[in-house]
Amino acid sequence: MDKNKLSKAGLGLGLRRALTQETLDFYSSENNTGLIEWLEIVPENYIYLGGRKAQQFQEVLDSGVALIPHGVNLSIGTAPETPGKPCFDPYLIDGCKELFQQIEAPWFSDHISCTRVGEYYLQNLIPVPMIQESVDIIADNVKFLQDEFQLPFLVENPSFYSTIIDAEMSEAQFINSILEQADCGMLLDVNNIYVNATNHGNYQPVEFLDSLMLERVVQVHIAGHLNGYHSHTGHKIEILDTHGEGIIDEVYEILRQLLARTEVNAILLERDSNFPELKELVEELKQIQGVVARSACDAAIQV
């Protein structure tokens, strides 16, 4: 997959119902100086709409803002019941197909994870073993989805907190194998790099970047996380990937290091909970915009 043949979306924000009207108002305002050029939607929330929800979504469509879908339930890590025959939820596939055509999606994406076993949804992003069998399953699933939707597909590197089966390869090798075998693109979450590097101590973020096939990185997610999380059972996690906090300097630095190594088509500020006033997100967008601008300036100087 050649990302240079895909559109350049620029800087975007996740469309969340709690901030929908404020987001659309800002998008149309004179204060939007390239801060919000597109919005990311979770397609599962926008299929088979009716009534007031359909009317609200039509208002989004009428605004003219570009929309890019990012899924959470395609479950590309789920093994088929019959080997070699990918098995997806037809209700979800049909709904997404109609939605993608409606919004003229340039590509779509989902996580390297398992969210469904048979007919049962797990309501979480379950990590898959970093073994060749997983690579084969995921690559077959991605090829099926790209054929089904006739759109480029991007896999996202997830955060994870435990492993079930001993790994046969490193996280970067695992991702690279999927990218190559599926011939797909990547959605690189720079916060997840920091989360996994901190929680597991297996690599340094820059080392991880240098191990990836960055020429396949189409889209970037950047978000915040929670430090010092304790579960209700008393287990401690050094960093929890919540998308509900402000972005820290170390994560901005990973973005800067990424942009020093490759160009990307789209960058998204991802906020899914603990929503602040929109003006706070606008300030984060300005910081991201600054990182992008400085990276472009540095590249021009090097040339």
Predicted pLDDT at 121 = 73
Q: Report the pLDDT value the prediction gives residue 303, as an integer from 0 to 100.
A: 39
Closest CA to 287 of 242, 253, 240, 241: 253
The one-character DSSP state at 3 is G
pLDDT at 87: 82
- The CATH number that applies at residue 64 is 3.20.20.150
Positions in the chain whose pLDDT score sits under 50: 300, 303
d(C-alpha 248, C-alpha 255), whole Å = 11
Closest to 161 measured CA to CA, from 217, 229, 111, 220: 229
Token output for 270: 């991802």
What's residue 155's pLDDT? 98
- Decide: pTM greater than 0.85: yes
Identify whether the C-beta of residue 44 lies closer than 8 Å to the C-beta of residue 71. yes
pLDDT of amino acid 240: 66
How is residue 126 written in tokens? 């379950």
Which tokens is 197 given?
């590097």
- The pLDDT of residue 295: 85
Write out the residue range of the structural domain in which residue 14 sits. Answer: 3-302
Count of the separate structural domains present in the chain: 1
From residue 213, give the alpha-carbon distance in Å to each of 27, 35, 120, 242.
Answer: 33, 28, 34, 26
The whole-angstrom separation of Cα 219 and Cα 278 is 23
pLDDT per residue as tens digits for the range 225-253: 767 666 666 666 677 667 668 899 999 99
**Is the separation of the CB atoms in 263 and 5 below 8 Å?**
no
Rounded distance between C-alpha atoms, residue 235 and residue 89, angstroms: 34
What gap in Å lies between CA 16 and CA 18, rounded to an integer? 6
